[in-house]
Amino acid sequence: MRAIILGSAAGGGVPQWNCGCANCVDARSRGANRTQSSVALSADGERWILLNASPDLRSQLAAHRELWPCGPRGSPVAAVILTDAEIDHTLGLLLLRESAAALPVYAPAGVTALLGSEWPLYRVLAAYAGVEPRALEDGRPIALADASGTPLGISCSASAVARRPPRYARAAPAAPAATFDVGLRLTDERTGATLAYVPTAGAVDDAVRRVATGADLLLFDGTFWSDGELRAAGVDAPTAREMGHLPVGGPGGSLELLKSLGAKRTVLVHVNNTNPLLRARSPERAQVEAAGIVVGADAMEFEL
């Protein structure tokens, strides 16, 4: 199984259009760029599954030969899995509207509901190729398949992580908060290799343990280093924990907790532009690296 980090940044990317924080200023001056959160995964190297559909999907698909069309029309993108209904993980679906056939989109029920109503991507896309929503049920592994129903050689089990619904849906009819956000355990059915994908997590709890324990690779929420990071950058914003992102550093941060999951490799993704981990020589970065954890970057590839 191969995994490619298409985009390693949280919503807004790096640099974010309206952000003058030290990291965004530095990225502009160097012409550096981190695109928004997404991963591509394949068991056969030919048909690929997108884990989340980023607003930067167009440039992400262009950046990887594996994802280029092989004929006059068509795409190696065989299916999409959505872990949440946030804008940074779903806007890219609109960019796939030229597809010839309805695209299979796996998602938990709460996400599918939001994309048909409060954030009506599925309604809009119905006038184009449309999507074929497929349900991800909590804790029940399913064999992923392409649009024709041909298995992709990967099974997927979802677990609801501790997060609230997206900001645009706070007034949505009460539904179990759990269905709005999941972590994934993806297993190569031939080799048994496992990828745990948890780009957003409010805690290292039983749900995270279910998907991540002993995984060959864990891609985990690296949004914020500290709880008050956005405010420290001069932004009037909630804390990391209020936003449903467990900070990496500090007491009770993920750095202390991830070790206990026993994943062979752990890589932080969905990294916000304010995060000191983005600075190669920061003490925070040194601390993470000393723990054997890697700060993810666009185009990192993994063979599992």
- Where along the sequence are the contacts to Zn ion (CB under 5 A)? 19, 21, 24, 273
Report the residue from 6, 9, 11, 34 that binds Mn ion according to the rule CB under 5 A: 11
Tell me which DSSP letter residue 92 carries: G
* Whether 175 contacts 110, CB under 8 Å: yes
Q: Which does 19 bind (CB under 5 to 8 A by kind): Mn ion, Zn ion, ligand MLT, none?
A: Zn ion
Among 304, 86, 9, 57, which Cα is nearest to 186's? 304
At 111, list the tokens. Answer: 């996400």
Q: Are 109 and 179 in contact, with CB atoms under 8 Å apart?
A: yes
| From Zn ion, Mn ion, ligand MLT, none, interface partner of 162 (C-beta below 5 to 8 A by class) | none
Which entry of Mn ion, Zn ion, ligand MLT, none binds 273, CB below 5 to 8 A by partner kind? Zn ion
- Kindly identify the residues of this chain, within the stretch 32-91, that bind Mn ion according to CB under 5 A: 86, 88
What does the binding site for ligand MLT look like in residue numbers (CB under 6 A)? 10-11, 86-88, 167, 200, 243
- State the pairing for strand pair 266-269/194-198: unpaired
- Asked if 228 contacts 181 with a C-beta cutoff of 8 angstroms, the reply is no
| CB of 121 vs Zn ion, minimal distance in Å | 27
Q: Closest approach of Cβ 216 to ligand MLT, in Å?
A: 25
Site for Mn ion in 86-125 (CB under 5 A): 86, 88
58 binds, among Mn ion, Zn ion, ligand MLT, none (CB under 5 to 8 A by kind): none
Whose Cβ is closer to ligand MLT: residue 10's or residue 136's?
A: 10
Shortest Cβ 235–ligand MLT spacing (Å)? 12
Please say which residue, 21 or 263, places its beta carbon nearer to Zn ion.
Answer: 21
**Minimum gap (Å) between residue 270 Cβ and Mn ion:** 6
Burial class (CB in 10 A: 0-12, 13-18, 19+), 23: buried
Burial of 147 (0-12, 13-18, 19+ CB in 10 A): middle
**Taking the CB of residue 269, how many other CB atoms lie within 10 A of it?**
29
Q: Where are the beta strands (DSSP E) in 70-181?
A: 77-81, 103-107, 131-135, 142-145, 151-160
Closer CB to Mn ion, residue 86 or residue 229? 86
42's tokens: 């394949």
Restricting to residues 275-294, name those near Mn ion by CB under 5 A.
none
Interface with Mn ion (CB under 5 A): 11, 86, 88
